[in-house]
Chains A and B, each alone.
Chain A
Amino acid sequence: MEGSNTYLIRPNHQYKFKPAIVKECIREIVRERLSGMLYDPEEVPELSRSLADGIKDKVKNAGFDRYKLVVQVVIGEQRGQGVKMSSRCLWDADTDNYAEDVFMNDSLFCVVAVFGSYYY
């Protein structure tokens, strides 16, 4: 009888997507990049893209193996308008999770959401 391969179908507890750690990652980067910034319509596209890339790299290096990541960054101007952002996910609640953070200063607000989904 030959031996069979073993496949991991769920991550061990220590390798699970930990929202608290990811939230810390997001917070550091956003605070560092956006403190004191003013909303500038020309710069914002580049800024949001680079913020998303920076956060994605930081989370990747935090060592969540076999996790697919989706990072979404929303930057808006503060002018007294109302905004609502919501999300719903169809996934395996046991292995998958998300982390989010909101940053506000006088001229802009920034919402970052990072979703992690385990690749079986």
Chain B
Amino acid sequence: RVSATTKNKRVGSLILKKNDRKSYSRVTFPSEAVAMDEYQTEEETAFVVEEVSKIIKESVEAAIGGNAYQHSRVNQWSTSVVEQCLSQLSKLGKPFKYIVTCIIMQKNGAGLQTASTCFWDNSSDGSCAVRWENKSMYCIVNVFGLAL
């Protein structure tokens, strides 16, 4: 027994239809048909900002925690911050595509401004920005989660 329902979601001026996550597979054993349904609850498919923010803070601490700004090591630091964030995020097992960006800037008295705008589905997608600093540098990490 298969029932497929569709939900309409307005995204800007496009109407995209989204299928509920139900999959039905039939294995014919001698006398049985086995149906597998996968349901994911609302909580498991939403972008939870606090959880993501915690992951980012931990990754940044672990990668550049007590260090002072060194031009020769910045490359490796930013790569490790971003990779660690991404691997922790993928471990959450949620149906999302992730984009993680990291900006590391030396403290110099200069000003920095970041802005981002997104064309997506507000009800299912989300973003999280974390600002971290120590005595010699600033680190800004942005995570965007796009629902599948």
Contact = CB atoms under 8 A, between A and B. Distances in A.
Contacts of A83: 103-106, 112
Interface in B93-107: 97-107
B115 to A, nearest CB: 4
Given A82-B71, A87-B102, A48 B97 contact: no
B110 A78 contact: yes
Interface residues of A, number: 46
B115 A52 contact: yes
Residue from B69, B103, B125 with most neighbouring chain A CB atoms (10 Å)? B103
Interface in B4-57: 11-12, 14, 16
A72 B142 contact: yes
A46 B93 CA distance: 37
Residue from B74, B109, B112, B127 with most neighbouring chain A CB atoms (10 Å)? B112
Nearest to A98: B99
B111 A87 contact: no
A51 B99 contact: no
A39 B111 contact: yes
Contact of A44 (B14, B69, B111, B148): B111
Interface string B79-91: 1001101100110
A82 B105 contact: yes
Interface string A60-97: 10000110111111111111111111111111100010
Given A76-B105, A77-B110, A87-B102, 6 more contacts: A65-B14, A72-B142, A74-B113, A84-B74, A96-B97, A120-B148
Interface of B: 11-12, 14, 16, 69, 71, 74-75, 77-79, 82-83, 85-86, 89-90, 97-121, 125, 127, 142, 144, 146, 148
20 contacts: A53-B117, A56-B118, A68-B118, A73-B115, A74-B114, A76-B112, A76-B113, A77-B111, A79-B109, A82-B71, A83-B105, A83-B106, A83-B112, A84-B103, A84-B105, A85-B78, A85-B103, A88-B82, A90-B97, A92-B97
- 10 shortest A-B CB distances, which residue pairs? A81-B108, A48-B115, A87-B101, A79-B110, A86-B78, A77-B110, A52-B117, A76-B112, A69-B119, A91-B97
Interface of A: 39, 41, 44-45, 47-49, 51-53, 56, 60, 65-66, 68-92, 96, 98, 113, 115, 117, 119-120
